Amino acid sequence: MFFHVKELQYRAKPDKPDAVYARKLQEVLGGQFGEISVMMQYLFQGWNCRAEQKYRDMLLDIGTEEIAHVEMLATMIAQLLDKAPVEEQEQAAQDPIIASAMGGMNPQHAIVNGLGASPNDSNGYPWNARYTIASGNLLADFRANLNAESQGRLQVVRLYEMTEDKGVRDMLSFLIARDTYHQNQWAAAIAELEEKEGLVVPSTFNREYEKSDVAYTFMSCSEGTESEQGRWASGPSMDGLSEFKYEAKPVATGQAPHLNPAPGYIHDTPLSDKETK
């Protein structure tokens, strides 16, 4: 059960409207690594969690916080759209190049959303549930979460640099700080699970079924040997179970592919007489 508190988690009030920046801010609302994505990802990971209760509780805690971040961004975008598209049209009237794109604002903010935010990215592409990961394996999922927070923080920092609005920057500074914590949180949870389960996902698979001779080999499949200088090419493997080795020119051990002709009703290109012999 969820309850809504009328006050925002943190201030979301720009110094002045900026319809062009409102479009940019849509990316961290409805983009691949936006707040809607992490909100849905954490909530579904929590709702589907069959592991220890502490993991379920933690996931739902942070997922619920992300709802608050969605609300903050939507509120900020709506205020950035105040007086739009009038101001943008007035500016466009002075510059025919700007007129072609209404000054760079997203026309749907006015036409479709009534000067409000939408669950889309900065180019108007709709948010997609395919952005989210909830596999049931917490180590795999938490690594995806760490990546999501890393990419999200990167984008918010870039957006911070794209505005001088103190009110916008104030809100973004809060989101950046929360992303700092969330990266640390997922790193801590990953370390805890790795200590229990090991480095490689899934830990329940019988390693005897692996082709062990290539399980710790770096295969150099391009020209040059610079990659041999990396930590991944020599020394103890990260899981502590073997040694990395470097293979400069990996040898192909499979067959040359040859596919049987398709039946006539598929209407593929027929083989030549030479090929059928």
Report the distance separating Cα 251 and Cα 247, nearest Å.
Answer: 9
Expressed in percent and rounded to 5, the helix, strand and coil fractions of the chain are: 55, 5, 40
Per the annotation, where are the binding residues for Mn(2+)?
A: 35, 66, 69, 149, 182
Q: Is 148 helix (H, G, I), strand (E, B) or coil?
A: helix
Per-residue pLDDT reduced to its tens digit, 153-185: 999 999 999 999 999 999 999 999 999 999 999
Q: How many CB atoms lie within 10 A of CB 94?
A: 8
Per-residue pLDDT reduced to its tens digit, 50-80: 999 999 999 999 999 999 999 999 999 999 9
- Domains of the chain as residue ranges with CATH: 19-197 (1.20.1260.10), 207-247 (no CATH)
Per the annotation, where are the binding residues?
A: 35, 57, 61, 66, 69, 149, 182, 222, 224
Q: What is the pTM of this model?
A: 0.87
Mean pLDDT score of the chain, rounded to an integer? Answer: 91
Closest CA to 57 of 131, 129, 138, 135: 138
Per-residue pLDDT reduced to its tens digit, 98-144: 454 556 788 888 888 889 999 999 999 999 999 999 999 999 999 99
Task: State the DSSP code for 266.
Answer: G
Per the annotation, where are the binding residues for Ca(2+)?
A: 57, 61, 222, 224
Per-residue pLDDT reduced to its tens digit, 177-210: 999 999 999 999 999 999 999 998 888 888 888 8
Report the distance separating Cα 206 and Cα 194, nearest Å.
Answer: 17
- Residue-wise DSSP of 37-93: HHHHHHHHHHHT--S-HHHHHHHHHHHHHHHHHHHHHHHHHHHHTTTTTHHHHHHHH
pLDDT value at 85 more than 70? no
* Res. 276 pLDDT band, cuts 50 70 90: low
pLDDT value at 215 more than 80? yes
Residue found by looking up tokens 């759209």 in the block: 81
> What is the pLDDT, as a whole number, of residue 100?
45
Percent of the chain with pLDDT over 70: 91
Strands 243-247 and 217-219: parallel
* Res. 39 pLDDT band, cuts 50 70 90: very high
Contact indicator for 84, 19 with CB cutoff of 8 Å: yes
Average pLDDT over residues 248-273: 89
The larger pLDDT score, comparing residue 95 to residue 129, is at 129
Spell out the alpha helix ranges (H) of 95-202. Answer: 96-99, 107-111, 138-161, 166-197
